[in-house]
Structure 1
Amino acid sequence: MKFSLGKVDITPDKPIFMHGFGDRSHKSEGVLEPIYMKAALLQANQTLLIVTIDALGSDRSFIAGIKEALRERFGFAPDEVLINFSHTHHSVYLTGVDPELRKGGYSMGQSYWAENEQELDYAEDEAYFAFIRDELLRTVSSCFDSLCDGELQIARGTSDFAVSRRRPTPEGGVSWQPYYEADIDKDLFVLKLTDTAGSLKGIIYSYGCHTTAMGSDNYLISNDFAGTTSAVLEEAYPGSIAMFLQGCAGELKPLHSAEEDRFIACDAVRTGKAGAYLAKDVITVMEQGEFTKVNCRFRTELRDPLLYTEQTQASFYERMVEDPKYNDFYRNAALRTIDAMANGTIKERVPFYISVWQLDEETSLIAMEGEVSTEYSLLLKRIFGNGKMIVIGYTNGVFSYVPTRKMIGEGGYEAECNFFFGLRGPFVPEIEDIIVGQVAQALHRRA
C-alpha cells in the first residue's frame, strides 16, 4: 500500500464565539494552543482519505461542501472520505455555504446566543469554510504528490482515561455525576504508518472521551486534552503526525475532571496533564502492543437512514421558557422550537450517516455521525466485533446526541436535549434497531 499524511494550522486569526457551552457570553480572548486539520491518504485497491478537524463538529452544509470539493478535484466518492471531529468545546461549529443544509442557531461571528435565526450573519462562517476547504485541497494535493510505499499496522490497548457522566438514581433516572462503575468502551486503538525503511510517519489513535477537561470559563481557543496528547506523541516520535479519531463519547468525560461525586472545570495545567496521561497510554501501546499488519484491501459503504423523534407538544417548551432555572441558551432553543412547530418547519426525523470501512478481511472501521453513546460501541463490538473493529462517532457531521434504547428510557441530558438541534423531541427507542440493522446490512454486503 501507499500512504501520505498532512497537517495544517486552522486557528482563527481573530476572536470568535466558541461553541460547546451554552453559558458562554462573549467571544474568545486568545489562543491557548493552535488547532489543526490533519489528513491521512491511504491507497491500495481503493484510495481512502481520513480527515481530522479540531472543532466541535459540523452540519451537513459543511460536509456536503467539503466532499463535493474533494470529488471535483480528486474524484473521491462520498464513502471514501471520513471527516472526524475532535469535538473540542473550545473551537467552532462548522457550516458551509448551502443554507438548506445548515443547522443554524449559531455563528462563529455572533457575540451572544441569538433568540432567533434572523439575528445571525454567517459571513464569517462561510469565509472560514472556504479557508478550510482550500487548505484541505492543498493538503490532499500535497499528499498525492508525496505518496510513499509502506505498511499499515494495528494494535489494541486499553485506557481508563474516561468516565461516564450518567450516574443512575434510585428512581430509575440518571444524574450528571461521575459513574465510575459504568460499563464503557475502554478500547484504545492505535494505527501506525511506516515507510519501507521502517520509519514511523503516522500515528492514528482512537479513543472515546468528550474533549471537555476545561469548562465554559475557558475563553482561549484549544483542542483541550487531545491537543496535548497529539503534541506529546509528535514530540516522542519525531517526523510523525499524530491524528486523534474521536470515538463514541456521548456520555464520557475525562477522569481528570472528576472529583468524587462531581465534575470540575480543569485549568490549562490540569488539562495538559490529562492530555499527557492519554499520550502515555498511547505510547504504551506503541512500545508494548501486539501490532499486526493490515493487509490493505479496502471496501467501503456509506449509509444514510432516518432517525425519528417523539411528538413532543409545544406546551412542554412553553413551560421551559417560563422556568427561571434555565439560561438564555435553553430558553432561546425552546423559543425556536415553539416557532418551528407553529410554522411547520420543526424536524421530526433526521438523516444519519453510517460509514463502514473494511480495511482487510479482519479489520473494520464503523464511523457514525453525531454524539454517539459508548453503549453503541460496546453493542456493535459485542455483536459484530472480532477484536479489530474500531467504532467511532463525530464523523461526517455532528448534529445531535445518539442515545441507546436504555438511555432514552432513563432520560437525562443526552436523551432529552434534541430541541437544541431543531428536533421536535427525544428520539424514539427504535433508533437503536435502525442503527444496528444498518450496520448489519452493510457488513453483510461487504462480506
Structure 2
Amino acid sequence: MKHLILYILPVIVYVLTFAGCSSSPDQLRCNIGIADITPEESVVLAGFAARKGLSTGIHRPLKTHCIVIENDSVRVCIISNDMMEISINMAGELREEIATQTGIPYDHIFIHSTHTHSAPRAGGSSAEKGGTNYAFVKKLRETVVRNAVQTANNKKAFIPFTIETGKGECEINCNRREKDGPCDHDVYLSHFLDKEKKPIVSLLNFACHPVSLNHRSLVVSTDFPGITVEELSKEWGNDVFYFSGAAGNVDPCGALRTDTSYTQARGMELADAVRNIRTEKIKKSNILRVSSMEVKLPFRVSKITPEIVNDHADEIKQWNAFGTWKNDVERWRSATLEKIAKDEVKNWLPFEIASVNIGGLVLFFSQGEPFNEYQTLLRENNPGITLFFIAYTNGQNSYLPSKYAFGRDAYEYEKEQMHIYIGAPYPLSAEMPVVYEMAMKQVVNDVASNQ
C-alpha cells in the first residue's frame, strides 16, 4: 500500500500541474452584456438647438453595451451607450455605483456615448422631476449600472479570448466646416475570439458625427452606427460595439436630412467598408494595463474672476449671432458668476483622458469632442500599434479645436461660442492643443511601452 501511495502521488501532482497549463494562469477573459435604454414616452431629443417638439416615434432602439475584461490582476469595464452625451457629474456617479458594486476601480470604468443626436437629453430642465425626460433618465441610470454590474459579477460567464484587428477606409465622413479640411476616413475593427476562433464580440471605431438625421427629425434613433452594428451582427452572429472617434469637426458628407432611408444608406456604406477589412491576430499577450490623468487645459486668461467674466459677456453679447445669443450669454454669465462665488471654478479646464492596453490593442479614451486631427496625430506617433481613439467618454465638457483650427476662420463657433453652451468659464487658449497632445502621448506611452 505504501508503495502504491508513493506511485499515485506523483501522478496526481503531474495531472494537476498540466491540467492547469491548458490555459494561461493570467489569460485575458471577457464577458459582455447588452440592455435596452429606449425611452417609453415622448422625450426631448438632444443635439440640435433648433429642434422643436418632442419625439414622435422610434427609428432604432437604443442600447447600453458593456464589456468587462480581466486577467488575474486587473479588471476593466467599458460601456458604450447609444446616447448623445451625459454630463461629467452623471458619468462620475454611474462609475462610483459600478465600482462599489463590482470592486472594479473607478478609473478602470469608461462610459462612452456614441454621440447620436437622435437620443434623449440626459440633462437640463427636461431631465428634472416633472420634466418630459425624467423617467427616461431614471431608467438610463438604473439600466446602465445594472447591466454593468451583472456583466462584471457573473464570473462563470467570462470567456478566454485572443484578438484580431484590422483597418479599412470609409468615405461617408467629411470635414463639417471646410470642403477640403482635415478628415480621417480610417475605420478600425477588432474581433475578440474564443478558443474555437469564433468572435465573442467585435469592436468598431470610426470618426463621424452621428447626425445624418437633422434637427427636423423627431424620431429616436442610433443614427447610422446602429444600422452598421445591426447589419454586421446579423451577418457575423455576434454582438458588435461601436465607438465614435475624434469627430468634433466631422459630419456625414452632404446635407443632413429627416429621411431615415438616407441614414440607412450611410450605415450600410460603413458596414460594407468594415466587411472588406482583413484582420490579423495580434501577437499573443495577456497585458491589461491602464493609465489615466487629468489634463489642465489652459484658458485665454490665467485667472477666472468676476471682472473677467463680466467683461467677456459684455463684449460677446454684442455679436450678431443667432436669435437667442444675447439671452444665452446672460445665462452663461449668471451661472459662471454663481460658480465662482461657490469656489467651483478652476483656472483651467479639467479634462480626463486614459489609455488601456488589452493584449496589444490600445484604446485611448477622452472626454469631450476632440477634433479629427488629434486621432491622426496620435496614430502617426504610434506606428505598429492598433489604436482606437474613443472620444465622448466619461462626460461632455468641450470641443477641442486643433492647432490647424486655431489658425483658421472657419471654426469660430467651436473656438469662440461653444463655451457658452457647455458652461465652461472662458474660451480655451490657442496653446491648448500642445498641452492636450503631450498628455495624449504620455498616457498611450504609459500602457504601450515594453508591451
TM-score category of the 2 structures, normalised to the smaller one: 0.7 to 0.9
Aligned to 2:18: none
Aligned in 2, Cα 1:122/1:237: closer, same or farther, shift over 3 Å? closer
Name the SS of the counterpart of 2:183 in structure 1.
coil
The residue correspondences of 1:210-359 to structure 2 (distance < 5 A) are 210-238=209-237, 240-255=238-253, 258=254, 263-285=255-277, 288-293=278-283, 295-311=285-301, 314=310, 317-318=313-314, 326-328=322-324, 330-343=325-338, 345=340, 349-359=348-358
Change (3 A) 1:33 1:133: closer
Q: Deviations over 1:220-270 (max 9, x none)?
A: 1101101111111111112x1110011111011112xx1xxxx33251011
Contact 1:85 1:394 in 2 (8 A): yes
Which has the higher mean CA deviation after the structures are superposed, 215-224 or 346-355? Answer: 346-355
Q: What corresponds to 1:102 in structure 2? A: none
Per-residue displacement from partner, 1:167-224 (whole Å, max 9, x unpaired)?
A: 1xxxxxxxxxxx2x33322221111122112222211110111000010001111011
1:128 shift after superposition: 3.4
Residue 76 of structure 1 corresponds to 104
Q: Which residue of 1 aligns with 2:392?
A: 394
Q: Give 1:412's aligned residue.
A: 412
Separation (CA, whole Å) in 1 of partners of 2:38 and 2:78: 20
Which residue pairs with 1:170 in the alignment? Answer: none
**Mapped partners of 1:322, 1:247: distance in 2:** 35
Separation in 1, partners of 2:329, 2:284? 48
2:439 aligned partner: 438
Who wins on radius of gyration, i.e. which is larger? 2
Q: Secondary structure at the match of 1:62?
A: helix
Deviation at 1:363, TM superposition (A): 3.3
Worse overlay, 120-129 or 305-314: 120-129
* C-alpha deviation, 1:293, in angstroms: 4.8
d(CA) in 1 for partners of 2:80, 2:294: 21
Residue 427 of structure 2 corresponds to: 426
Give SS of 1:353's match: strand
Which letter maps to 1:303?
A: M
- Separation of aligned partners in 2, 1:356 and 1:79: 11
C-alpha separation between the residues in 2 aligned to 1:323 and 1:435?
Answer: 29
Tell me, in whole angstroms, the C-alpha distance in 2 between the residues paired with 1:354 and 1:22: 28
The Cα shift of 1:333 comes to 2.6
* 2:143 counterpart residue number: 132
- 1:171 aligned partner: none
Give the match's secondary structure for 1:50: strand
- Root-mean-square deviation over aligned CA pairs: 2.6
Match of 1:2 in 2: 29
Distance 1:302 1:365, change over 3 A: same
CA distance in structure 2 between the aligned counterparts of 1:408 and 1:16, rounded to whole angstroms: 36
Q: Shift of residue 294 of structure 1?
A: 5.3
Asked if the contact 2:299–2:348 (Cα under 8 Å) also holds between the matched residues in 1, the reply is yes
Paired residue secondary structure (1:166)? coil
Give the drift of 1:327: 3.2
Match in the other structure for 1:64: 92
Q: Pick one of 17, 24, 36 that aligns with 2:63.
A: 36
Equivalenced residues, count: 407
- Structure 1 partner of 2:378: 380
Is 1:15 the counterpart of 2:16? The answer is no
Shift of 1:146: 1.2
Shift of 1:64: 1.1
Give the gaps of 5 or more residues in structure 1: 96-104, 112-119, 168-178
- Give 2:372's aligned amino acid: T
Q: Distance in 2 between matches of 1:254 and 1:306?
A: 32
Instruction: Label 1:47 to 1:347 Cα distance change in 2 as closer, same or farther (>3 A).
Output: closer
Structure 1 residue 427: deviation in Å? 0.7
Residue from 152, 158, 181 that aligns with 2:169: 158
Secondary structure of 2:161's match? strand
Separation of aligned partners in 2, 1:28 and 1:321: 32
State the alpha-carbon separation in 1 of the partners of residues 280 and 52 from structure 2.
Answer: 48
Query: TM-score under structure 1 normalisation?
Result: 0.83
CA contact (8 A) 1:203 1:241 kept: yes
Task: Give the unaligned 5+ runs of structure 2.
Answer: 1-27, 302-307
TM-score of the pair, normalised by structure 2: 0.83
Task: Supply the AA of the counterpart residue of 1:326.
Answer: F
Q: Deviations along 1:331-368, whole A, 9 cap, x unmatched?
A: 443121222355463775321111111224x5322111
CA shift at 1:320, angstroms?
5.9
Corresponding position of 2:126? 107
